A and B are shown apart, each in its own frame.
Chain A
Amino acid sequence: MTNSTVNPEKCWAEMIDEFGDDHSPLTPKLAQAFAAAPYGLMEQVSWFKFAGKMIGRRDLVMVYDHLEGLGGWTVAYETGPTVAILNQLDPLDEIRKAWPDEKILFENHDEILRSTRNEFDGIVRFDAADSIIEAEWEYFIADSAAMLKEGGSFVVGIKNELKFIFIKKIAKEHFNHVFEFGKGQPHPVLTPANINIILAC
């Protein structure tokens, strides 16, 4: 039975207007991911969500975002103010327009931020493409330990098992606690799929 006084098309249009869905075009990598690699996209959003949940509501978080804004926004939604470092060739202006929330700030470079000290409550980085070499991980972990405030959390993930062992070893040199999640864990924890994650603090 339908209510003749309700115009469903009008109601839907009002709702969409209220939610602000402008059907804007997707940025290139995201469009490609939706079309050609939806399972990978699902996994990777799940990684960022896990990181955001672990960090919790905080003052300032830094995220390396290989998902053209979606990764940073997924974390920011859980944590609050976030600086997202995009890949250098990502379309910065388009991404800023696509994610116009005041909680998130996008940058293409991390050099200046890497020199800060005790600035961030959380730092997040996932190497989906296995493109970060061990030496860069070593520098990055050392810099992150310095960039984090007391009580801050460091969340990184990688698929490569050998590099994961290396990252874990380096993380233990810089953090008091290194927790592992992912492949091979002995417990039925619903951690994100297809990744090894370190949570360090």
Chain B
Amino acid sequence: MAYNLKKDPKRLAFVLARYSFAAQMTANCASVLELGCSEGIGASMLHGGIKPYLGLDLDTPAIEAARRNFASETVRFKNANFLHMDEGRFEAVVSLDVVEHISKGADEAAFFQAVSDNITDNGVCVIGTPNETSTPYASPESMRGHVNMFDAVRLKSTMEDHFKNVFIFSMNDEMVHTGYAPMAHYLFAVGCNKII
């Protein structure tokens, strides 16, 4: 986070705005699982101080930082690979800026299956990812890590394999909107009513 704050501080507004939107969409959910929580900076928005929260990430130092700063009895952080995992059932599953780092094919399928396996039948899932159409403007660092970019059509259709209702939102800077999706920098898919 310190690196990001020094290199591009406005990005913190974008990242917190993404969490804020995810929190709004999961406001009625009683428990939260975050896949790819990194240092846990969005955890407090998601659990609001009242919901059990579990954040998972592969990045060991990031999880250690999250534990140091934000862990409590009901707010847990775990160093884990969330593909093929089973942590129980949560009413909300949130994953921001993660799926674009997961390879197409088997890993992508395992990711969405993990979302489905760990959400209750009436849960709400929020997936956020940079839009494929924003690739020409991405930094070289981002482009190296972004191995699986989605546009709005593919994000919606992929989510519709697991949820009966999928709503797509666009985002530019910290503003979420319903404008022309190919011109959005960032996309959200909100899925609910899981396909059982």
Contacts and interface: CB of A to CB of B under 8 A. Distances in A.
Interface residues of B, number: 25
A201 B164 CA distance: 9
A166 B175 CA distance: 29
B23 A176 contact: no
B17 A186 contact: no
A185 B27 CA distance: 11
A11 to B, nearest CB: 27
Contacts of B21: 187, 189
A54 B167 contact: yes
A50 B168 CA distance: 11
A54 B178 contact: yes
Interface string A137-175: 000000000000011010000000000000000000000
Contacts of A190: 175-179
Question: Among the interface residues B20, B21, B165, B175, which one has the most CB atoms of the partner chain A within 10 A?
Answer: B165
Nearest to B121: A176
Contacts of B28: 177-178
B193 A151 contact: yes
Nearest to B169: A189
A34 interface: no
Residue among A54, A185, A190 with the most chain B CB within 10 A? Answer: A190
B46 to A, nearest CB: 12
Interface in A51-81: 53-54, 56
B62 interface: no
A54 B179 CA distance: 11
A199 interface: yes
A201 B177 CA distance: 20
A186 B176 CA distance: 12
B174 A188 contact: yes
A189 B169 CA distance: 10
Contacts of B175: 188-190
Interface string B135-173: 000000000000000000000100000001101110000
A192 to B, nearest CB: 9
B72 interface: no
Most buried by B among A153, A185, A187: A187
Interface string A177-196: 11110000111111000000
Contact of A176 (B17, B168, B192): B192
B168 A189 contact: no
Given A151-B193, A176-B122, A178-B28, A56 B177 contact: no
A199 B167 contact: yes
Interface of A: 49-50, 53-54, 56, 150-151, 153, 176-180, 185-190, 199, 201
Given A56-B156, A176-B193, 4 more contacts: A153-B165, A177-B28, A177-B192, A201-B165
Interface of B: 17, 20-21, 23-25, 27-28, 122, 124, 156, 164-165, 167-169, 174-179, 190, 192-193
